[in-house]
Amino acid sequence: MSTDAPMGAHGGLRAERLTVRYGGVTANADVDLDVRPGEIVGLIGPNGAGKTTFVDAVTGFTRSEGSVTLDGERIDALRPHERRRRGLSRTWQSGELFGNLTVRENVAVATRPGGVGTLFRDIFWPRRRSDGSVDRALSLVGLGDEADRLARDLSLGQQKLVGVARALVGTCKLLLLDEPAAGLDSAESLEFATRLRTIVREQGAGALLIDHDMSLVLGVCDRVFVLEFGKLIFSGTPDEARTDQAVVAAYLGVPMENADA
Amino acid sequence: MDTYLQFVILGLGLGAVYVALGNGLVLVYRATGIINFAQGAMAMWGAYVFAQLRLDGSLVLPVGRIQLGAGPTSVAVSLVVALLTAVALGLLAHYLVFRPVRHAPALAQVVVSVALMLSLQALVVIRFGPNNISVESIIEPGSIDLFGVTVSSRELKMVGVMLVLSVLVWAYFRFTRAGVATRAAAENERGATLRGFSPDRLAALALVMANVVGTVGVILASSLTGLNPSNYTLLVVPALAVLLVARMESIGTVFVASLALGAFQSVINLLVLKPWWPTWAQSGIEQVVPFLVVVVILFAFGSRLPSRGSLQTIPLPDVHIPRLRPVAGTVVLAVTVVLLVVTRDAYRFGLTYSIILTLVALSYVVITGYLGQISLAQTAFAGAAGFTLSKVTTDWDMPFLLAVLLCSVVAALLGMIVALPAFRIRGAQLAIVTIAASLAIERFVFNNYSLTPPSGNPIADPHLFGMNLAVREGATLSRLSFSLMVLVVVTLVIVAFVRLASGDTGRAFLAVRANERAAASVGIDVRQTKLIGFGVSAFIAGLAGCLIGYSAGQLSAESFSVFVGLQILAVTYLGGITSWGGAAVAGVIGPLGIIYVLFHDLFEMGDYYALVSGLALILTAILNPVGIAGATRSQIDWVRRRIGGGRSPAARESAGAAADDAPIDLREVSDVH
Ligand SMILES: Nc1ncnc2c1ncn2[C@@H]1O[C@H](COP(=O)(O)OP(=O)(O)O)[C@@H](O)[C@H]1O
Ligand SMILES: [Mg+2]
């Protein structure tokens, strides 16, 4: 995978000079970050560094300055659902499933999100069955057997995987994953990494992965960005990250060298 | 200019009541997070007690009465007794009604306070009678000179009393340990506990203070207006508008905004008499003002309103994805037809009305049960359709089906306008906006003599393919063909509802209900979904409005009043707000429906209907949020589990089953109809 020239003209997601302020706090300061199709990019940083804020800003859930382009098209004026429909999908750190819907419905709702046309079709010409993409996405994340359970009955780890499946269906050009493996043990985490690779390869989508599990991030990502106090302090390959002074300092106490041992 | 000043001063009297009720609303909201729709009704009880004591010295209790003297009691004694009653009522309301729902979803809290309001109003009718009674003034009427203009001094003194009380409430929050702890409790309950107060006691105290302040206000004002069961109950609506303006917390803003609103409403009443003011806009405009104020405030500051108790993802009752069952459906239909055939006159009419009410209830199921938006304006939508129906059938001779469709579309459009505030706010605050809208429409359109003459708006009888579908003919009060027409319309709507609810639209509604930002993150256009939901639900309400209009032969404002709307919400919650079965139960027990007719005819207890339904609603909201339909379903599930033992009777059908089976069933059913 290529590691340099991140700002060249290409498809995928590109955020330039992205700035988010919450009152006096600058949660993101002039962040430049890009993710190309077929690539897994890591975004790490201590708690409160602004990782979630970055995802919120890019997907339109919080007000921001700067520009966001998807496949060369400006999307920063669009509302969140419009960005999703163009293929910018996200998951949430806290799951945010529809607790009273089943797992399958949680995913299916992303394939057919309703609208005026849907309303009349529902009433006058109800659809017979789904096209199978929902079940495919569920088995991709390994939850094929849980499809008929209520989402709120799953463990948090499983809920986040449902979130991933929900982000995958429909048009998905770019996945933003906010700590998707936080509820998984290390074996499950490893399995998730393998699955993520498969997903990215099969769908040709790009992915931005936020996680605290260094071995997961450094092991699976092609490139890594590091945020601290809202500012990017590093971008480069996982190998470079392991030896970078600033990154090590930000993660003082975390033994980076051993992280992926 | 002089007249204007005089009207401003007169308006301050009304403003003083808003101050009283607004103080109460803030107290209760800050202590419990609940918006108390019953604030006006609670205060009114004490005022009635006072008025009755001044009349003949008897202390009227909910049951029985105590004679305190041979003749009228003195002002001082009456006042003390009335305020003690207010204290007792505040305590009762806290321990019996609000405390049990303190952690319940916003919808249950709204429903409980609305139910308390309906119950108190019904109790007032039973205990004190439905008519206006005049009340002797405590404050001597008089006049003083203000800027060279002679104005009434009574209103100014009322404002003085309210100023003192407001300062006391403000000082309570500011300086007393309990008040400071209440403010802390508004942030989180532990905050109060840490300061050594039980949040529960603080809430009880707040309810008592709220009711005392409110009662003083209503006692003072009742000498200006007289007392009747509905006027002070509904005075809570402008006070709620004030509450929003005060961002749910500022006593100072409550005071100023209340007086401004009262004065403004009074001056408007002067302006409408000017020759240049359009006649059609003369009545009800003073109710349009609070609504507009609320809407403007919301659009200016909406996102910054504090949202305690309304922003958490609301665990509304679970939804059981409906499926059409051709056999069961046919049986229910057949039984209904038989009942309609064998009954006559009042009973057939009651049954027919029940079927129509099912539609109104279904409109609540769509908007609240599925989409999670609390709308209190459903009867206003119904009335708007009925109103249009009268115009298009009499002025334009528009034929039956076309007219009904057109009028329902008008209702749907109105619904989508009322949906606009829902872009910004949710939960109980949306309930405030929609009840304000509903009252504005009621006063501005249905009670507006230039739009709705006292004789009513006649509606031409329906005819279709040469069939006479009129409800009456000669001595027959309730014709079968009308009832059957109603049944067909309602059945079609229920089929459409089931298709919608089990389809992609229903799922998108439920997603928005569960979690708006998650819904947006999966590509759902939340605003559009709300527009669709309000549109569909208002369309259904509009159909009901047309049928109600046809059933009366004219549009009568009483059928669509705010109270009727609240009552239908009550019975829908009682029946089960998440299913069409619940709507059907609501139809059966709803106002003017068959049970109501039985209450009236068999037991001669018509007055008790409203009380019983109000109390039953309080109980349902506290004990069993899934309502009668939901409770019945869990009984059936239990029996099935015992007998069948096979299929797991989960709270809802598996989605796979719903997606695969439902459309097949639907096809079969569409052949049946
Ligand atoms: N909605 C919000 N309002 C105000 N401040 C916020 C909000 N969301 C996040 N913040 C603040 O922004 C900073 C970054 O938070 P976040 O993006 O959640 O960090 P991370 O995901 O890296 O742990 C933190 O200081 C946090 O307190
Ligand atoms: Mg985070």
Predicted confidence (pLDDT) per residue in A88-142, tens digit: 999 999 888 998 889 999 999 998 888 888 889 888 988 766 678 899 999 888 8
Query: Is B520 close to A81, i.e. CB distance below 8 A?
Result: yes
Q: Give A186's pLDDT tier (boundaries 50, 70, 90).
A: confident
- Reduce the DSSP state of residue B152 to 3 states and report it: strand
Of A98, A110, A118, which has the smallest distance from its Cβ to B505's Cβ? A118
* Contact (Cβ atoms closer than 8 angstroms) between residue A51 and residue A225: no
C-beta contacts of A254-261 below 8 A and 24+ residues apart: A254/A214, A256/A214, A259/A214, A259/A215, A259/A218, A260/A214, A260/A215, A260/A218, A260/A219, A261/A215
Kindly state if the Cβ of A41 falls inside 6 Å of ligand 1.
Answer: no
* Contact (Cβ atoms closer than 8 angstroms) between residue A96 and residue B521: yes
Nearest alpha-carbon partner for B432 in B259, B263, B269, B298 = B298
Q: Which residues of chain A does B529 touch, with a Cβ-Cβ cutoff of 8 Å?
A: 114
Q: Is A93 exposed, middle or buried (0-12, 13-18, 19+ CB in 10 A)?
A: middle
Tell me which ligand sits closest to the C-alpha of residue A56.
1
* Contact (Cβ atoms closer than 8 angstroms) between residue A183 and residue A214: no
Nearest residue by C-alpha to atom 25 in ligand 1: A48
pLDDT at B241: 87
For residue A179, give the DSSP letter: S
pLDDT at B192: 57
pLDDT at A106: 93
Query: Is A96 close to B524, i.e. CB distance below 8 A?
Result: no
Domains of chain B: 2-277 (1.10.3470), 315-629 (1.10.3470)
* pLDDT above 70 for B672: no
Kindly state if the Cβ of A235 falls inside 6 Å of ligand 1.
Answer: no
Nearest alpha-carbon partner for A102 in A166, A157, A184, A182 = A166
Structure tokens, B179: 């008040």
pLDDT at B671: 31
Kindly state if the Cβ of A22 falls inside 6 Å of ligand 1.
Answer: yes
| Residues of A engaging B, defined by a Cβ cutoff of 8 Å | 59, 61, 79-82, 84-85, 89-90, 92, 96-102, 104-105, 108-110, 112-116, 118-119, 121-123, 126-130, 147-148, 150, 166-167, 170
Nearest residue by C-alpha to atom 4 in ligand 1: A22
Query: Is A127 close to B503, i.e. CB distance below 8 A?
Result: yes
* Contact (Cβ atoms closer than 8 angstroms) between residue B416 and residue B531: yes
Query: Is B525 close to A105, i.e. CB distance below 8 A?
Result: no
Q: How far is the CA of B130 from the centre of ligand 2 (A)?
A: 60
Contacts of A149 (CB under 8 A, 6+ apart): A102, A103
Structure tokens, B32: 């419990």
Q: How many beta-carbon contacts under 8 Å exist across A and B? A: 140
Kindly state if the Cβ of A84 falls inside 6 Å of ligand 1.
Answer: no
**DSSP readout, B388-439?**
HHHHHHHTS---HHHHHHHHHHHHHHHHHHHHGGGGT--HHHHHHHHHHHHH
Query: Is A98 close to B511, i.e. CB distance below 8 A?
Result: yes
Nearest C-alpha in B relative to A103: B655
- Reduce the DSSP state of residue B144 to 3 states and report it: strand
* pLDDT above 80 for B476: no
pLDDT at B556: 79
C-beta contacts of A50-53 below 8 A and 24+ residues apart: A50/A20, A50/A227, A50/A229, A50/A230, A51/A178, A51/A210, A51/A227, A52/A93, A52/A178, A52/A210, A53/A20, A53/A22, A53/A27, A53/A28, A53/A230
* pLDDT above 50 for B667: no
* Contact (Cβ atoms closer than 8 angstroms) between residue B418 and residue B534: yes
Report how far apart, in Å, the C-alpha atoms of B477 and of each of B469, B483, B507, B551 are: 13, 11, 43, 10
Helix pair angle (B177-187, B2-32), 10° resolution: 70
Q: Which residues of chain B does A109 touch, with a Cβ-Cβ cutoff of 8 Å?
A: 504, 507-508, 511, 519, 522, 524
Structure tokens, B386: 């009925």
User: Does the CB of B648 have a partner CB in chain A at under 8 Å?
Assistant: no
> Which numbered atom of ligand 1 lies nearest the CA of A178?
21
Q: B207: number of CA atoms within 13 Å, CB side?
A: 28
Residue with tokens 């306008």: B417
Q: How far is the CA of A62 from the centre of ligand 2 (A)?
A: 14
Ligand 1 mutation target, pool A33, A44, A52, most atoms within 8 A of CB: A52
* pLDDT above 90 for A31: yes
* Distance between first and last Cα of chain B: 67
Range list of H helices, B503-525: 504-514, 516-521
**How far is residue B651 CA from its own chain's centroid?**
30
Structure tokens, B124: 């007032």
Ligand 1 mutation target, pool A19, A53, A61, A225, most atoms within 8 A of CB: A53
Neighbours of A249 (CB within 10 A): 10
- Reduce the DSSP state of residue B630 to 3 states and report it: helix
Q: Give A1's pLDDT tier (boundaries 50, 70, 90).
A: very low
Nearest alpha-carbon partner for B111 in B592, B513, B558, B623 = B623
Q: How far is the CA of A229 from the centre of ligand 2 (A)?
A: 13
CA-atom Rg of chain A in angstroms: 18
Q: How far is the CA of A46 from the centre of ligand 1 (A)?
A: 12
Nearest alpha-carbon partner for A167 in A152, A181, A156, A177 = A177
* pLDDT above 80 for B188: no
Q: What is the distance between the alpha carbons of residues B672 and A78, in angstroms, rounded to a whole number? A: 46
Predicted confidence (pLDDT) per residue in B607-641, tens digit: 788 888 888 888 887 876 666 766 677 777 777 77
**Å between B529 CA and nearest CA of chain A:** 7
Tell me which ligand sits closest to the C-alpha of residue A182.
2
Query: Is A123 close to B500, i.e. CB distance below 8 A?
Result: yes
* Contact (Cβ atoms closer than 8 angstroms) between residue B579 and residue B358: no
Q: Give A2's pLDDT tier (boundaries 50, 70, 90).
A: very low
Instruction: Among B312, B522, B673, pick the best mutation site for testing chain A contact (most A Cβ within 10 A).
Output: B522
Nearest C-alpha in A relative to B509: A114
Q: What is the distance between the alpha carbons of residues B538 and B532, in angstroms, rounded to a whole number? A: 10
Query: Is A114 close to B654, i.e. CB distance below 8 A?
Result: no
* Contact (Cβ atoms closer than 8 angstroms) between residue B394 and residue B630: no
Q: Which residues of chain B does A129 touch, with a Cβ-Cβ cutoff of 8 Å?
A: 659-660, 663
- Determine which of A62-76, B587-601, B625-639 has the lowest per-residue pLDDT on average: B625-639
- Counts of helices then strands in chain B (DSSP H, E): 27, 8
Kindly state if the Cβ of A95 falls inside 6 Å of ligand 1.
Answer: no
**Å between A91 CA and nearest CA of chain B:** 8
pLDDT at A24: 87
Kindly state if the Cβ of A245 falls inside 6 Å of ligand 1.
Answer: no
* Contact (Cβ atoms closer than 8 angstroms) between residue B613 and residue B561: no
* pLDDT above 50 for B493: yes
Q: Which residues of chain A does B315 touch, with a Cβ-Cβ cutoff of 8 Å?
A: 99-100
Helix pair angle (B655-672, B480-502), 10° resolution: 150
Amino acid occupying residue A110? A
Predicted confidence (pLDDT) per residue in B152-187, tens digit: 888 888 899 999 999 999 988 888 888 887 777 666
Q: Is B148 exposed, middle or buried (0-12, 13-18, 19+ CB in 10 A)?
A: exposed
Predicted confidence (pLDDT) per residue in B442-457, tens digit: 888 877 777 777 677 7
- Reduce the DSSP state of residue B463 to 3 states and report it: strand
Contacts of B321 (CB under 8 A, 6+ apart): B501, B502, B506, B652, B653, B655, B658, B662
Neighbours of A246 (CB within 10 A): 12
For residue B318, give the DSSP letter: P
Beta strand spans in A45-188 (E): 65-70, 73-74, 88-90, 174-178
Contacts of B323 (CB under 8 A, 6+ apart): B498, B502, B653, B658, B661, B662, B665
Model-level pTM?
Answer: 0.87
When the pLDDT of each residue in chain B is averaged and rounded to a whole number, the result is 82
Predicted confidence (pLDDT) per residue in B394-426, tens digit: 778 777 888 889 999 999 999 999 888 888 777
Report how far apart, in Å, the C-alpha atoms of A48 and of each of A93, A212, B117, B429, B594 are: 13, 12, 47, 32, 61
Q: Give B653's pLDDT tier (boundaries 50, 70, 90).
A: very low
Question: Which of residues B607 and B490 earns the better pLDDT score?
Answer: B490
* Contact (Cβ atoms closer than 8 angstroms) between residue B35 and residue B113: yes
Q: Would strands A25-35 and A13-22 be described as parallel, antiparallel, or unpaired?
A: antiparallel
Query: Is B523 close to A84, i.e. CB distance below 8 A?
Result: yes
Of A104, A114, A128, which has the smallest distance from its Cβ to B663's Cβ? A128
In this prediction the ipTM stands at: 0.90
Sign of CA dihedral B256, B258, B259, B260: positive
Beta strand spans in B452-547 (E): 457-458, 463-464, 467-468
Kindly state if the Cβ of A25 falls inside 6 Å of ligand 1.
Answer: yes
Kindly state if the Cβ of A52 falls inside 6 Å of ligand 1.
Answer: yes
User: Does the CB of B671 have a partner CB in chain A at under 8 Å?
Assistant: no
- Determine which of A236-240, B246-250, B411-415 has the lowest per-residue pLDDT on average: B246-250
User: Does the CB of B72 have a partner CB in chain A at under 8 Å?
Assistant: no
Domains of chain A: 9-87+176-261 (3.40.50.300), 96-170 (no CATH)
- Determine which of B37-51, B415-429, B535-549 has the lowest per-residue pLDDT on average: B415-429
Query: Is B662 close to A96, i.e. CB distance below 8 A?
Result: no
**DSSP readout, B156-180?**
HHHHHHHHHHHHHHHHHHHHSHHHH
pLDDT at A33: 95
* Contact (Cβ atoms closer than 8 angstroms) between residue B506 and residue B579: no
Q: What is the distance between the alpha carbons of residues B424 and B434, in angstroms, rounded to a whole number? A: 13
Q: What backbone torsions phi and psi does residue B519 show, to the nearest 5 degrees?
A: -60, -45
Instruction: Among A97, A100, A135, A175, pick the best mutation site for testing chain B contact (most B Cβ within 10 A).
Output: A100
Structure tokens, B609: 């209907």
Q: What is the distance between the alpha carbons of residues A197 and A238, in angstroms, rounded to a whole number? A: 16
* Contact (Cβ atoms closer than 8 angstroms) between residue B596 and residue B590: yes
Q: What is the distance between the alpha carbons of residues B651 and B636, in angstroms, rounded to a whole number? A: 12
> Which numbered atom of ligand 1 lies nearest the CA of A227?
22
